[in-house]
Amino acid sequence: MDWTYWLFGTLRWSDFPPKPDLIATFAASLVILAPIAVAVILTVTKRWKWIWNEWLTSLDHKKIGVMYCVLAAAMLVRALIEAGLMRTQQAMANVGSPVIGADHFGELFSTHGTIMIFFVVMPFISGLINFVMPLQIGARDLTFPFLNAASLWLTAAGAMIVNASLVVGKFSTGGWSGYPPFTELAFSPGEGVNYWIWALTLTGIGTTLTGINFAVTLYKERAPGMHLMRMPLFCWTALSTSILMIFALPPLTVATAMLALDRYAGFHFFTNGAGGNMMLYANLFWLFGHPEVYILILPAFGVWSEVISTFSGKKLYGYTSLVVATISIAVLSFTVWLHHFFTMGQSADVNAIFGIATMLIGIPTGVKVYDWLLTMYRGRIRFTPPLLFAVTFLFCFVVGGLTGVLLANAPVDFAVHNSLFLVAHFHNMLIPGTLFALIAGYMYWFPKVFGFRLDERWGTISWFLWSGGFLLAFMPLYALGLMGAMRRTSMFTDPQYTPYLMIALGGAGMILAGLAALGVQLFVSIRRREQLAVPVGDPWDGHSLEWWSPAPPPEWNFARIPQVDGTEAFTAMKRDGQPYVPDPENYEDICLPANTGIPVMIGVAGFVCAFALTWYIWWLAIVSLVAMWALVVLRSWQGEPMQTFPAELVRKHTEEWLERARAATPVDRFAENAPANRGLAEPIR
Amino acid sequence: MSSDKKLHPGINIQHTDPKAHLEAEPIMFGFWIFLMSDLVLFTLLLATYGAMSVHGIAGGPTPGQITDLTSAGIETALLLASSFTFALASIALKYDDNQRALKRWLIVTELLGAAFIGMEIKDFVTLAGKGQVPQVSGFLSAHYALLGTHMLHVASAIVWMVMIWPQMKVPRLKKLVRLRIMRLALFWHMLDVVWVAIVTFVFLFGAST
């Protein structure tokens, strides 16, 4: 009897730090030291109770949204450092001095892709939708607040599994798409692929549940009069993304579960022999993977619609066409998955059909770009950092879209597939398209969340660094791809590549500087928060209901649920009515779900379960799985406890806000970055 | 909003419990959406089965060689009967105040479900006894994964029912329990629908080859 195996699975002392090379040891110590630093800070400032009561156990959609964004930001730092390391490696190796080995490079591109998609963009999107969407539709919370918290902590558990791989053992080297047979036991025997499988499983379940929650909220919790065709465009994109999450995440769950069965139980879904077929995996994975691309981009389109319309001081041009385009993209996204493997053996006819379907997506996307341009046309444009990002987006996204249409031609794809041309293409879509939208959305809604604006100068510096860095880092990759440089290669030995690789390295450095500028911006803004405060809550002359509340909004969002009569509900209020007049009749007790620690504990149990499965520690896996469900059962016995905010408290809070609104001086649009901006807008006439 | 309005597909409790009826609207709607997501999972497993039953034989048994129509027939009868008894339980949930009929029909449903699982386990054991385990071929992997996933769903529904059982006595949870049984009913009927697809594409298809 092998007791070590029964107790610890395949986990051994040699899997723990120190790691063989310096960079890996450094990374591992960061993962260990960062939580210790946070714990020390919490202990010194005596904030353990505060963080537990105010944040970790909260079911408030606004706080959950903020926690999603914090998770995304932390993971963004890691993924960008990895990107910088990969650029360094390729540039230095080409001139004869590599910094890391091929296996380490393989881990880097696998974690970079996995993290950016599943643990940066997805949580960031969930965070923004969580915070903004209920406010925009005039709701007090999502339909299922407990489920919302559970989804957050499952996603966080998945992220922590990826981080644990920095310390204990290794991560997969199979890329973010984890193609078998390479990821089968025969070729990747260690724990790496297991880490990848269980991290994705945790976040996949969390995201499916989040999608259900968002969709139900959007269908069932809208304020009276908020018809679907009156919702802000961000809500439409949130709805489309939720529907995609509901239908597109199950294929990922199925694909990873089958891969797990192959690896753990000797099944033959994707193995080389015994009837296994990796094409099955390719189809299942991209049946998820392609809609996933639109899960990432559609909410970004929503953010751009809000940002461009607000900072152009105009109603969104072509609202209906934007809605139709959004839904068209969502539907078409299910019809193009095969273009991810044109070269893997289908007939020319099949490739042609999927190629045409792919090009069709260019039509609704083009409609959107024109709508945004026409929204800006003759608008009163203020070049605030979010709008600057939007301008970069409009130019770069069109370039990326054009290279996408090129790749949609199967013959072209045969020539450039798997090259850096492809890498340049999808970064060209996802960085200016999605990541810039997330940064713009962060700067746009930050004053609503925390009650003060972000420093504009550092925002502009950050925009310059991000935009320039993006162009420098990825335009050379188009050229390199056409010259024959393949993706996921740890080193080239072609002197012709050197100038391009060096420029790309410089671009990566600029992007990291852009990230640092965002950090400085946050730091500077926190220090200047008195000057930047916008307590009335409408710093940009916003159009939708989220701006009709104090900044930060109270837990109950709205003292009374508004009646909506058209699109741009808040603009209508400011034009026709008096949004800041008290309504003494209408205060009532407000019931919201009480805090609970169960979702956090579900997340912890999920983390332990995934970790145990990764290392084949069966007893622990079973115990933690049972614990997860026991916690669900425990919750079912509690009977959804609520907390009540008495009418008197609501009245007091609301009247203070209205008092501040009456005392504030309205600011003109071109003074919105002056300290005079307290969040009360002077309407444009 | 008129209380006579039917707010969601499924059992309508507006006259017997109007408050729960109103609260049921978003909750039941959410559960329907969850079921759609779950159905995508089964659809993909069925598609995998379809591909593997042709391309994944690899010298192992064919669908025709592992199909036991008698056993599948008994399983189908058990599961369809359990859906019928659950429908009777739903009607009892709507009209029966002291829950006796509800409890009776839920017990019958549980027993039928357990018998179904017992039959499936017997099938698996028989197959394994002949050396036809999932490790033999891609086709058998798909077969076990599809039927196993369905069986796991039925088993979890039974566990769910058992977990609700003690809560039915707690007055404070009355409304929640009502909503939970309504969702459990939808789940149970969906598993029936999935089983009909399995019978068609696995057993009848297998018997016809």
Residues of A in contact with B41 (CB under 8 A): 250, 253-254
Which pLDDT does position A346 carry in this prediction? Answer: 87
Higher pLDDT, A458 or A190: A458
pLDDT tens-digit readout, A386-430: 999 999 999 999 999 999 999 999 999 999 999 999 999 999 999
Q: Is the pLDDT of residue A610 over 60?
A: yes
Asked if B138's CB is within 8 angstroms of A277's CB, the reply is: yes
pLDDT tens-digit readout, A157-169: 999 999 999 889 8
How many CA within 13 A on the CB side of residue B33?
Answer: 25
Name the DSSP letter for residue A485. P
B18–A contact, CB cutoff 8 A: no
Percent over 90 (pLDDT), chain A: 76
Shortest alpha-carbon distance between residue A100 and chain B (Å): 39
Higher pLDDT, A468 or B91: A468
The neighbour count for residue B177, using CB atoms within 10 Å, is 21
Cα–Cα distance measured from residue A342 to residue A352, given in angstroms and rounded to the nearest whole number: 9
Which pLDDT does position A505 carry in this prediction? Answer: 95
- The B residues from 47 to 86 touching A (CB cutoff 8 Å) are 48, 51-52, 55-58, 60
Over residues A59-85, the mean pLDDT reads 94
Which pLDDT does position A386 carry in this prediction? Answer: 96
Over residues B41-53, the mean pLDDT reads 94
Mean pLDDT is highest, among A23-32, A107-116, A270-279, for A107-116
Which pLDDT does position A328 carry in this prediction? Answer: 94
Which pLDDT does position B19 carry in this prediction? Answer: 76
Over residues A293-306, the mean pLDDT reads 94
Report the sign of the C-alpha dihedral through residues A599, A601, A603, A609, in that order. negative
Q: Is the pLDDT of residue B84 over 50?
A: yes
Q: Is the pLDDT of residue B5 over 70?
A: no
Over residues A550-569, the mean pLDDT reads 89
For residue A593, what are the β-bridge partners? A642
Minimum-distance CB partner of A253 among B26, B41, B51: B41
Contacts of B73 (CB under 8 A, 6+ apart): none
Asked which of A200-204, A520-524, B89-93, B117-121 is least confident by mean pLDDT, the reply is B89-93
Mean pLDDT is highest, among A422-431, A562-571, A668-677, for A422-431
Cα–Cα distance measured from residue A559 to residue A64, given in angstroms and rounded to the nearest whole number: 21
Over residues A611-617, the mean pLDDT reads 94
Which pLDDT does position A312 carry in this prediction? Answer: 92
Q: Among A34, A116, A28, which Cα is nearest to A75's?
A: A116
Cβ atoms B71, B119 nearer than 8 A: yes
Minimum-distance CB partner of B145 among A213, A261, A274: A261
Cα–Cα distance measured from residue A330 to residue A592, given in angstroms and rounded to the nearest whole number: 33
Which pLDDT does position A560 carry in this prediction? Answer: 86
Interface test with B, best of A636, A638, A642 (most B CBs within 10 A): A636
pLDDT tens-digit readout, A510-557: 999 999 999 999 999 999 999 999 999 899 989 999 999 998 999 999
Percent over 70 (pLDDT), chain B: 97
Which pLDDT does position A639 carry in this prediction? Answer: 84
Residues of A in contact with B134 (CB under 8 A): 261, 265-268
Give the pLDDT band of residue B1 (cuts 50, 70, 90).
very low
- Tally the residues of chain B: 209
Cα–Cα distance measured from residue A148 to residue A285, given in angstroms and rounded to the nearest whole number: 26
Which pLDDT does position A5 carry in this prediction? Answer: 87
Over residues B67-90, the mean pLDDT reads 93
Instruction: Please state the ipTM of this predicted complex.
Output: 0.92
Our CA dihedral for B86, B87, B91, B93, rounded to 10 degrees, sits at: 30
Cα–Cα distance measured from residue A549 to residue A547, given in angstroms and rounded to the nearest whole number: 6
Write out the two tokens for A271: 């193995």
Name the DSSP letter for residue B135. T
Mean predicted lDDT score pLDDT of chain A:
92
Higher pLDDT, A670 or A436: A436
Q: Is the pLDDT of residue A278 over 60?
A: yes
pLDDT tens-digit readout, A185-242: 989 898 999 999 999 999 999 999 999 999 999 999 999 999 999 999 999 999 999 9
- Chain Cα centroid distance, residue A462: 19
Q: Is the pLDDT of residue B3 over 60?
A: no
Which pLDDT does position A8 carry in this prediction? Answer: 87
Which pLDDT does position B2 carry in this prediction? Answer: 43
How many CA within 13 A on the CB side of residue B52?
Answer: 34
Which pLDDT does position A445 carry in this prediction? Answer: 95
Burial label, B9 (beta-carbon count in 10 A; 0-12, 13-18, 19+): exposed
B136–A contact, CB cutoff 8 A: yes
Cα–Cα distance measured from residue B148 to residue A385, given in angstroms and rounded to the nearest whole number: 54
- Scanning every residue of chain B, which has its alpha carbon at the shortest distance from the alpha carbon of A247? B37
Residues of A in contact with B144 (CB under 8 A): 267
Write out the two tokens for A160: 């922590």
